[in-house]
Amino acid sequence: MKMNVGIVGLPNVGKSTIFNALTETAKAGVANYPFCTIDPNVGIVNVPDERLYKIAELEKSKNIVPATIEFVDIAGLVRGASKGEGLGNQFLANIRQVSAIAHVVRCFDDPDIIHVEGSVNPVRDAEIIETELILADLQSIEKRYERSAKAAKTGNKEAKFEVQVLEKAKAILEDLKPLRTNLDKFEEEEIQWLTRTLYPITIKPLMYVANIPEEDLPEGEGNVYLQQLKEKAKQENAPVVVLCGKVEQELIELPKEERQEFLNALGLKEPGLNRMIKTGYALLDLITYFTAGEKEARAWTIKRGTKAPQAAGEIHSDIERGFIAAEVINYDDYIKIGSMQKAKELGMVRIEGKEYVVKDGDIMYFRFNV
């Protein structure tokens, strides 16, 4: 399933550096001036999951295929983007296409790196982007509202429903609040209609990525900018991923066998990008199930709440169409036993039908007939 995270922020906050490190490429241009990135860069990134490698080791799988998530590096937005400043309309259109947002915020001082606002202030910087996204949503909501209101006057039931939803959204946006922090004001069908019809940017789940200096690693304790950003994020119930873009870039330039030693020296257990990938995965409410055997161990991405036949459809539509049952064992039980064969012998592998809701960490084998 295609789910992606758009990386946004002001120019020169480290978006492209982080994107390049994520994808281990030099695809996104990096320079000390605004709008170095014009067209969005897209990268497919493996989701770090130690469970897959443990399963592959126990099953002696010849091939390992991790789950993936797509990241999109979107050019820096500036104040006035919703009115077209800095090619804003083009960039805002790109953001509408992503499933979730990673908002990179600069939490470091460096006189050699230009700041478009003239100084570092993470809350102000975050609010500039937030305001532009709110205003962009408000424009599209108002445009649709005019059309729906005219149709509603003729007694059109669909239009009446639309007006009701649009009025709620309009009131929130006019108060300069993002829709995602006010979802409790909508019914589920209203949220679905909004998302499917207008692709509002501020309804998308969001995480903040705090780009801190190397000297503040590992956790950024004592970094005043980071504390300010965390306070804002707490009010919005948004996660904050802390990393140093410069260090992440240096890390991928090292041979793989030397990377852990480099991380250890900085007091880090894993790259900050791993946390960013995992947070993006969680933000999209995704889970992983596994298939495993001698030929291959593979992680599959599905939305939480997916039933077994639809999960099977991620492998092939024929398996979903001809689904009979699924043989299932969860990862924790599997690890205690040590092999799929032994689990079957002990009767630990369950047979589940069409209504079974797949759990994160399930190891599955599908029975089907086409």
Q: Which residues are annotated as a binding site for ATP?
A: 12-17
CA distance 143 to 324: 48
Structure tokens at 269: 């257990």
* Distance in angstroms (rounded) separating the CA atoms of residues 159 and 354: 37
Helix (H, G, I), strand (E, B) or coil at 275: helix
DSSP letter for each residue of 315-368: T-HHHHHTEEEEEEEEHHHHHHH--HHHHHHTT-PEEE-TTPBPPTTEEEEEEE
Closest CA to 22 of 208, 243, 306: 243
Euclidean distance between CA atoms 254 and 292, whole angstroms:
31
Annotated binding site: 12-17
Q: Can you tell me the distance from the alpha carbon of 312 to that of 360, in angstroms, rounded to the nearest whole number?
A: 14
Q: Which amino acid is at 258?
A: E
How far is residue 331's CA from residue 362's CA, in Å, rounded to a whole number? 6
Q: Calculate helix-pair angle for 122-152, 188-198, nearest 10 degrees.
A: 100
Spatial separation of the C-alpha atoms in residues 37 and 34, rounded to whole Å? 8
Angle at the Cα of 346 (from 341 to 347), degrees rounded to 5?
95
| Distances 298 to 3, 211, 361 between C-alpha atoms, Å | 18, 32, 12
